[in-house]
Chains A and B, each alone.
Chain A
Amino acid sequence: MKVAIIKYNAGNIQSVDYALKRLGVEASVTADHEEIRSADRVIFPGVGEASTTMAYLREHKLDKLITDLKQPVLGICLGLQLMCRHSEEGDVECLGIFDETVKRFVLDHKLLPSMKIPHMGWNTISGLKSNLFDKSIEGEYCYFVHSYYATTGSDTAAICSYPEPFSAALQKNNFFAVQFHPEKSGAVGAKILENFLRLTI
Chain B
Amino acid sequence: MLSKRIIPCLDIRNGQTVKGINFINIIEVGDPVELGKLYSEQGADELVFLDITATHEGRKTFVELVKRIAANLNIPFTVGGGISEIRDADALLAAGADKISINSSAIKNPKLIDDLALHFGSQFVVVAIDAREENKHWEATMHGGRIPTGKELFSWAKEAENRGAGEILFTSMNHDGTKQGFANEALAHLSGLLTIPLIASGGAGTMEHFADLFKHGKADAGLAASIFHFGEIAIPDLKQYLRGEGICVR
Give A contacts to B, CB under 8 Å. 11-12, 14-15, 18-19, 21-22, 47-49, 107, 114, 116-124, 141, 143, 145-147, 161-162, 181, 183-187, 189-190
Contact A184 B218 (CB under 8 A): no
Please tell me which stretch of B92-100, B132-140, B146-154, B205-213 contacts chain A, meaning at least 4 of its Cβ atoms lie within 8 angstroms of it. Answer: B92-100
In the complex, chain B residues whose CB is within 8 Å of the CB of A162: 2
State whether A47 and B121 are in contact (beta carbons under 8 Å apart), knowing that A118-B196, A121-B45, A186-B74 are contacts in the complex: yes
Contact B70 A117 (CB under 8 A): no
Smallest Cβ-Cβ distance to A124: which chain B residue: B1
Contact B96 A116 (CB under 8 A): no
State whether A119 and B2 are in contact (beta carbons under 8 Å apart), knowing that A14-B94, A47-B123 are contacts in the complex: yes
A48-B124 Cα distance, complex, nearest whole Å: 10
Q: Which of B199-250 contact A (CB under 8 A)?
A: 218, 220-221, 250
In the complex, chain A residues whose CB is within 8 Å of the CB of B121: 11, 47-49
In the complex, chain B residues whose CB is within 8 Å of the CB of A141: 3, 250
Enumerate 16 A-B pairs (CB-CB under 8 Å) in ascending A order. Answer: A14-B95, A14-B96, A15-B98, A21-B71, A47-B123, A49-B121, A114-B218, A116-B196, A116-B197, A119-B2, A120-B220, A121-B197, A123-B1, A143-B76, A183-B74, A185-B74
Q: Which of B75-117 contact A (CB under 8 A)?
A: 75-76, 93-96, 98
In the complex, chain B residues whose CB is within 8 Å of the CB of A116: 194-198, 220
Smallest Cβ-Cβ distance to A116: which chain B residue: B197
Residues of B in contact (CB 8 Å), total 34
In the complex, chain A residues whose CB is within 8 Å of the CB of B5: 121-122
Q: Which of B168-195 contact A (CB under 8 A)?
A: 191, 194-195
Q: Does B141 contact A (CB under 8 A)?
A: no
Contact A11 B93 (CB under 8 A): yes
Give B contacts to A, CB under 8 Å. 1-3, 5, 40, 45, 70-72, 74-76, 93-96, 98, 120-124, 166-167, 191, 194-198, 218, 220-221, 250
A118-B198 Cα distance, complex, nearest whole Å: 11
Contact B120 A122 (CB under 8 A): no
Identify whether the interface residues of A are mostly helix, strand, loop, or mixed.
mixed
A122-B220 Cα distance, complex, nearest whole Å: 11
Contact A19 B74 (CB under 8 A): yes
User: Separation in Å of the A168 CB from the closest CB of chain B?
Assistant: 12
Smallest Cβ-Cβ distance to B119: which chain A residue: A11
Contact A18 B70 (CB under 8 A): yes
In the complex, chain B residues whose CB is within 8 Å of the CB of A185: 74-75
Contact of A121 among B70, B93, B220 (CB under 8 A): B220
Contact of A118 among B166, B218, B250 (CB under 8 A): B166
A162-B197 Cα distance, complex, nearest whole Å: 14
In the complex, besides A47-B121, A121-B220, 19 extra interface pairs with C-beta distance below 8 angstroms are A11-B120, A14-B96, A18-B96, A19-B74, A21-B71, A22-B74, A47-B123, A107-B195, A116-B194, A118-B122, A120-B166, A121-B5, A121-B221, A143-B76, A145-B76, A184-B74, A185-B74, A186-B74, A189-B74
Contact A118 B74 (CB under 8 A): no
Smallest Cβ-Cβ distance to B74: which chain A residue: A186
In the complex, chain B residues whose CB is within 8 Å of the CB of A190: 74
Contact B3 A122 (CB under 8 A): yes
